[in-house]
Amino acid sequence: MSDMQRLDLLASAFSPSAPIDNQSLFSGRISQLTDVLNAVNQKGQHAILFGERGVGKTSLARVISSGISIRGKRTIVGAINCDQTMTFDSLWRKIFREIVLSINQKNPDGTTNDVDVSFLSKLPTTLLTPDDIRHILSRLPKTIVVIDELDRITSQGVTTALADTIKTLSDHAVDSTVLLVGVADSVDILIKEHESIERALVQIRMPRMSKDELTEIIKKGLGGAQMTITDDACNGITALSQGLPHYTHLLTQSAGQNSATNDSTEVTEKDVRAAIDKALSKAQQSIISAHHKATNSPRENLYPQVLLACSLAVQDGLGYFAAVDVRAPLSKIMHKAYEIPAFSQHLNAFCEPGRGPVLQRTGTTRRYRFRFINPLLQPFVLMDGIKKELISPDELKNIAHQKY
């Protein structure tokens, strides 16, 4: 295999910028995939897939959309992304635009042929209601509707109508499945609108990926290009990724290409360091600006170290951590013991406009919990910490792999 072929395979095997939509490239998430398939195969069951930004919800939804088959039945899939301007009517018209039916058309010469027609042309011109959706879907073959980025819908009326739709589809046992994709708050809002849909809505949480799942992504992608990776390099990438597959794809692709351009088929820690430098130089401007605003100061301060410690703090399933969880990583970074009063003001500052905010705070005094507003900032903070030698790669691996 030539270096050019290897570079091309690495470019296609990893997808840092777009969700994965090819089942052969998708790794891990077997539990979540099974939960969705179980819902799809039960009349009256629907599902909501929720989790932090960047954990791979859209990738899983796309894999399901592109590769699902229900016991040999003809299956129709309509998948869309929500936006802030959507009404209930425009949302469903967008869905039905994606559903294409094959219609047998009679030609002037008496012959017939099948023509693909968007189902949008078959809809009534009046505003669609939840009962209209039930009526339409009950007359279609088995249909899977994927509604992504549910949290972008800002109208309570739309959310209420969606809850009503799920309720009526479930009550009438319509053989269609609505798969909603959003953040944890989406679940609370939806169920609040119609508490009785809770039994009809399978709630599937997408946690951050485990070290083993991230390793599978790395080795499967490199294996397709006939490349290998040392254990130290692989562990370095999984530690930096913080359970977020975006960075696993980004760093492995870049490290693999660096190795290939140096006529090697084995990715080493040297290649990972080169990938870190490239990732920092090409990071999104919003990430760079948020990091600079949070840590910059004309005087020497602890803000970079405290933010780095926050990135290494043990989190719960929704990404939250407490001040006590920051103490141990900060002490390791600073090579001396630090107690909470020494950095509590830094945590509070990260929640205020003056330094972002980059953290979200919940709870009450002395019981505050924090999480990154943008989870993708965490790996950037770690890479910056390594580049500035605030933490060594070995220290990072030792701390990070206790989390996932």
Residue of 260, 354, 285 whose CA lies nearest to 9: 260
C-alpha 13: how far from its chain's center?
18
For tokens 């890479």, name the residue: 383
Q: What percent of the chain has pLDDT over 90?
A: 55
Residues 6+ apart with CB under 8 A from 332: 391, 395, 399
Domain boundaries, given as residue ranges, for the chain:
3-16+209-281, 29-205, 285-400
d(CA 359, CA 325): 15
Range list of β-strands (E), 212-274: 228-229, 266-267
Beta-carbon count within 10 A of 328 CB:
17
The pLDDT value recorded for residue 320 is 92
Partners of 321 in beta bridges: 370
Partners of 175 in beta bridges: none
Provide the sign of the torsion angle of the four alpha carbons 63, 68, 74, 76, taken in this order. negative
Q: Are strands 369-372 and 359-362 parallel, antiparallel or unpaired?
A: antiparallel
Q: What percent of the chain has pLDDT over 70?
A: 94
For tokens 């290897």, name the residue: 6
Architecture of the domain defined by 3-16+209-281: Orthogonal Bundle (1.10)
pLDDT in tens, 292-312: 999 998 777 899 999 999 999
d(CA 14, CA 59): 12
Cα–Cα distances (Å) from 285 to 214, 280, 281, 377, in that order, read 26, 10, 10, 11
Name the band, by pLDDT with cuts 50, 70 and 90, for residue 17. low
Partners of 177 in beta bridges: 144
29-205: in CATH 3.40.50.300? yes
What average pLDDT does the segment 171-186 reach? 88
Fold of 285-400: Arc Repressor Mutant, subunit A (1.10.10)
Residue 393: pLDDT above 80? yes
Residue 186: pLDDT above 90? no
Beta-carbon count within 10 A of 149 CB:
18
d(CA 318, CA 404): 13
Q: State the average pLDDT for the chain.
A: 88
d(CA 190, CA 145): 17
d(CA 36, CA 45): 10
The predicted model scores a pTM of 0.81
Beta-carbon count within 10 A of 312 CB:
28
Residue of 187, 182, 196, 176 whose CA lies nearest to 46: 176
What secondary structure does DSSP assign to 94-108, as a single string? HHHHH-EEEEEEE-T
